[in-house]
């Protein structure tokens, strides 16, 4: 038993339960499992990312303070790498990731006490000082004892011991005599080695010094060049690595350079002083030669840097050529790996391979990948399938446990168009990451968006800064997009979803994820799902009812916080990964995912049915040239800011209704749904000719959305209905 350092109550240890959050701990453990949830810890800022701040709680444990845990915006933080901060441990995950939350107390004096947590043991600061002093005293006593024993060891006088002592004395006398003779004998030196012709002393080359390890005139032995891929078998050895610096981050201690060669990537720590940039002349993108010792730190491979130089000229060209040849060989898949048989996907075989190569190349180059997709069920399936293929490659390629947060970023788009607002956001983020964290410019993959001319300006802005662009869309693309993207995957086929197309790109990138994502293509279809994808879903354990529930659940969650990736929640839905459910004993299979999806899908149907019932009671019906038309005033007869969004509501109304054309019209935009393929741009042009001052334009082809000026609302409705009816001829 002990006493609480705050209230004096009897307790186990130094703090009672009621005052647990009134003290701050200095953590000296080496495993996240030793951390105590809800405890406050002193930490050191490691670095920033788009999604938060990494904080070192000890030399072996790092946590993530997500931006959602901050009171203000991430950009408003004035913390710098190496700053001491105070955080609270929110959660320690099964994979060792540590979730942190912020503390309003940011100084020791603002807590009522301070304790040290050494592993799982809690110490008072003075107890720790006493242990250190006792250790130093023991060390001093040990050194003194060793010295005394060497100086006063009794001479052995019996038998072989006496002979050994006599022999040692003789050898010592001989050595002394030789040393005296050497002092008396003059040393001859060559004039050009020891002094100049004018008698001036000249510095001798230390590399030619005669030492026990290196004979006179011989160069010091250099470390053997090793591939990064073989370093796990070289722990404790001095090695030489040649490759490209792909990142450089400053921690509260050493500078950590991430070095890539043709076989992999490894962290290399260089230390001059805590928080001070080592080798400031070395920049990201430099081709370098690094000498150091291979070690294991935080259970991860690391090289302790002893020498680091940038290569120039022929040496640089040789390494660059070696890297380029190896990268091309590793990045290009031999063939496409499809989720299921689909002639439409097969038709895009070459461009599919190009997209897979671009993604794999980015991972091998340690280039961040940003996945942009529409905030729809189809868009989420496409984005998640690609993310699921990229993540294991990143984890395998990069040693640090938080690499997936640095190198993979999925960002949903609220609209199915990649507008200048989105491009400006992405460019701002990537330039900040380049300047603040020495990151490379990213590869941007756009799924189910950016394939029409409305996205041309946004794509061109990315290109101006040199960011590579891969556009993946099952809907027809405009010709201009081929010129403003580096890779365009756009099969000329009907009845294909972007989710199905992206899933086959994902399995081509990482064939081993096929079994994991086999059910995703079926989830992306609202109707007329190809039988091959339903078969793939069944093989994965998802029948048609389960697939429907997943689709509806994803559609509902896509609406809420539409700009957020929701990685963990979407993972729980699509793959049954809820740690809470697993901890409670639920099986990690499709059944768990169905339970969670079923719960959310029920909310989807309740909200959708309520909204459809209200809308159907207020639809205005008419007929024009034999075409039945249903028009809903979404401004007056829908809950504008609640689920379902107007686009999804119009889809459902048209599926359930019997009209050939269903139109929803709001204050300054309308949606068109029809039984025939409607050329929305042609509709907008025709309507604009009949209402020339209404500002009519096709704003979102994927959503069937037209924009106009609110003052001309009635005129626009008449003009658009007439233009749509004309396309039924």
Compute the residue count for the chain.
729
pLDDT cut 90: percent of the chain above it: 56
DSSP state of 22: G
Are the beta carbons of 56 and 46 closer than 8 angstroms? yes
Q: How confident is the model at residue 249 (pLDDT cuts 50, 70, 90)?
A: confident
What is the average per-residue pLDDT within 542-559? 94
Q: How confident is the model at residue 277 (pLDDT cuts 50, 70, 90)?
A: confident
Whole-number Å distance between alpha carbons of 709 and 297: 62
CATH topology of domain 224-323: OB fold (Dihydrolipoamide Acetyltransferase, E2P) (2.40.50)
Q: How confident is the model at residue 228 (pLDDT cuts 50, 70, 90)?
A: very high
pLDDT cut 70: percent of the chain above it: 84
Q: Which of 158 and 259 is assigned the larger pLDDT?
A: 259
Q: Could you please report the per-residue DSSP string of 157-201? A: -SHHHHHHHHHHHHHHHHHHHHHHHHHHSPPP--HHHHB-TTS-B
What is the average per-residue pLDDT within 564-590? 65
Choose the most confident range, by mean pLDDT, from 169-173, 544-548, 579-583.
544-548
pLDDT at 142: 56
Reported in sequence order, the residue ranges of 119-168 that DSSP labels E, i.e. its strands, are: 121-123
Q: How confident is the model at residue 583 (pLDDT cuts 50, 70, 90)?
A: very low
Query: What pLDDT digit, counting tens, does each position of 401-443 carry?
Result: 667 777 899 999 988 899 999 999 999 999 988 887 778 899 9
Q: Which of 607 and 591 is assigned the larger pLDDT?
A: 607
Whole-number Å distance between alpha carbons of 121 and 557: 43
Take residue 672 and report the two structure tokens written for it. Answer: 């068109």
The answer as to CATH 3.90.1640.30 being correct for domain 343-542 is yes
Query: What pLDDT digit, counting tens, does each position of 302-347 carry?
Result: 999 999 999 999 999 999 999 988 888 889 999 999 999 999 899 8
Query: What pLDDT digit, counting tens, does each position of 639-680 carry?
Result: 888 999 999 999 999 999 999 999 999 999 999 999 998 999
pLDDT at 210: 43
H or E stretch covering 86: strand 84-92
pLDDT at 397: 80
User: Does the structure show a pLDDT above 90 at 202?
Assistant: no
Peptide bond into 644 cis (omega under 30): yes
Q: Where are the alpha helices (DSSP H) in 618-711?
A: 634-637, 646-656, 680-690
User: Does the structure show a pLDDT above 90 at 127?
Assistant: no
Name the CA dihedral angle for 711, 715, 717, 719, rounded to a multiple of 10 degrees: -140
What is the average per-residue pLDDT within 2-7? 74
| Percent composition of the chain: helix, strand, coil (DSSP 3-state, to 5) | 45, 20, 35
User: Does the structure show a pLDDT above 90 at 534?
Assistant: yes
DSSP state of 418: -
The correct CATH number of 618-726 out of 3.10.310, 1.10.10, 3.30.70, 1.10.760 is 3.10.310
Instruction: Check if 224-323 and 618-726 are the same fold.
Output: no
Count the alpha carbons within 13 Å of 268 in the hemisphere toward its beta carbon. 33
Q: What is the mean pLDDT of the chain?
A: 83
Q: Which CATH superfamily is domain 2-127 in?
A: Nucleic acid-binding proteins (2.40.50.140)
Lowest mean pLDDT across 4-18, 451-465, 623-637: 4-18
pLDDT at 439: 81
pLDDT at 192: 43
Q: How many CB atoms lie within 10 A of CB 591?
A: 12
Reported in sequence order, the residue ranges of 283-395 that DSSP labels E, i.e. its strands, are: 287-297, 300-310, 369-374
Whole-number Å distance between alpha carbons of 157 and 429: 81
User: Does the structure show a pLDDT above 80 at 553?
Assistant: yes
Burial environment of residue 233 by CB neighbours within 10 A (0 to 12, 13 to 18, 19 or more): exposed
Are the beta carbons of 101 and 53 closer than 8 angstroms? no
Take residue 588 and report the two structure tokens written for it. Answer: 């990690």
Q: How confident is the model at residue 545 (pLDDT cuts 50, 70, 90)?
A: very high
User: Does the structure show a pLDDT above 60 at 189?
Assistant: no
Domain boundaries in the chain?
2-127, 224-323, 343-542, 618-726
pLDDT at 9: 77
């Amino acid at each position: 038993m002990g006493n609480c350092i705050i209230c004096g109550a009897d307790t186990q240890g130094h703090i009672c339960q009621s005052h647990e959050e009134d003290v701050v701990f200095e953590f000296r453990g080496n495993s996240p499992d030793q951390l105590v949830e809800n405890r406050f810890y002193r930490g050191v800022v490691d670095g920033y990312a788009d999604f938060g701040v990494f904080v070192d709680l000890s030399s072996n444990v790092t946590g993530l303070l997500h931006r959602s845990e901050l009171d203000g915006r991430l950009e408003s933080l004035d913390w710098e790498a190496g700053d001491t901060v105070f955080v609270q441990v929110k959660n320690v995950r099964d994979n060792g990731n540590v979730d942190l939350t912020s503390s309003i107390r940011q100084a020791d004096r603002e807590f009522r006490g301070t304790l040290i947590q050494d592993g799982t043991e809690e110490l008072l600061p003075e107890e720790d000082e006493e242990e250190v002093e006792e250790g130093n005293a023991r060390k001093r006593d040990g050194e003194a004892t060793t010295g005394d024993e060497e100086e006063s060891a009794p001479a052995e006088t019996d038998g072989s011991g006496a002979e050994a002592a006599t022999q040692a004395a003789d050898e010592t006398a001989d050595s002394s005599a030789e040393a005296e003779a050497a002092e008396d004998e003059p040393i001859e030196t060559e004039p050009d080695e020891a002094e100049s012709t004018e008698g001036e002393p000249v510095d001798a080359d230390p590399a030619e010094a005669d030492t026990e390890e290196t004979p006179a005139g011989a160069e010091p032995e250099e470390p053997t060049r090793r591939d990064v891929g073989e370093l796990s078998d070289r722990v404790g050895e001095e090695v030489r690595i040649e490759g490209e610096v792909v990142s450089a981050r400053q921690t509260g201690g050493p500078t950590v350079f991430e070095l890539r060669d043709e076989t992999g990537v490894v962290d290399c720590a260089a230390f001059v002083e805590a928080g001070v940039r080592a080798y400031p002349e070395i920049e990201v993108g430099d081709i370098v030669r690094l000498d150091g010792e291979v070690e294991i730190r935080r259970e991860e491979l690391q090289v302790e840097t002893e020498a680091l130089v940038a290569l120039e000229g022929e040496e640089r060209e040789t390494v660059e050529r070696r890297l380029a040849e190896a990268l091309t060989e590793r990045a290009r898949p031999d063939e496409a790996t499809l989720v299921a048989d689909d002639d439409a996907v097969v038709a895009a075989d070459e461009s599919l391979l190009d997209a897979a190569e671009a993604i794999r190349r980015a991972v091998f180059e340690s280039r961040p990948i940003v996945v942009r997709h529409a905030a729809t069920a189809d868009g989420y399936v496409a984005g998640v399938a690609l993310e699921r293929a990229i993540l294991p490659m990143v984890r395998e390629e990069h040693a640090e446990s938080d690499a997936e947060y640095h190198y993979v970023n999925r960002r949903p788009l609220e609209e199915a168009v990649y507008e200048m607002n989105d491009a400006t956001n992405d460019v701002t983020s990537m330039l900040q990451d380049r300047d603040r964290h020495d990151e490379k410019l990213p590869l941007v993959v756009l799924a189910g968006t950016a394939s029409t001319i409305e996205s041309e300006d946004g794509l061109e802005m990315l290109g101006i800064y040199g960011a590579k662009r891969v556009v993946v869309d099952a809907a027809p693309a405009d010709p201009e997009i081929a010129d403003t993207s580096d890779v365009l995957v756009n099969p000329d086929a009907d009845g294909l979803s972007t989710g199905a197309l992206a899933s086959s790109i994902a399995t081509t990138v990482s064939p081993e994820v096929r079994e994991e994502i086999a059910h995703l293509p079926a989830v992306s279809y609202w109707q007329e799902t190809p039988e091959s994808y339903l078969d793939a879903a069944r093989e994965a354990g998802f029948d048609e009812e389960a697939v429907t529930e997943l689709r509806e659940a994803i559609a509902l969650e896509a609406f809420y916080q539409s700009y957020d990736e929701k990685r963990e929640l979407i993972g729980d839905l699509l793959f049954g990964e809820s740690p809470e459910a697993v901890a409670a004993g639920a099986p990690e299979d499709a059944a768990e995912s169905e339970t969670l999806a079923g719960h959310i899908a029920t909310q989807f149907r309740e909200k959708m049915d309520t909204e459809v019932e209200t809308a159907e009671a207020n639809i205005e019906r008419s007929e024009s040239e034999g075409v039945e038309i249903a028009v809903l005033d979404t401004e007056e007869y829908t809950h504008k800011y609640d689920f379902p969004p107007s686009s999804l509501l119009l889809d459902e109304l048209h599926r359930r209704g019997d009209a050939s054309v269903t139109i929803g019209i709001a204050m300054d935009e309308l949606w068109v749904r029809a039984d025939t393929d409607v050329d929305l741009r042609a509709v907008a042009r025709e309507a604009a000719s009949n209402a020339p001052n209404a500002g009519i334009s096709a704003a979102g082809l994927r959503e069937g959305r037209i924009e106009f000026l609110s003052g001309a609302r009635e005129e626009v409705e008449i003009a658009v209905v007439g233009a749509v009816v004309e396309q039924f001829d």
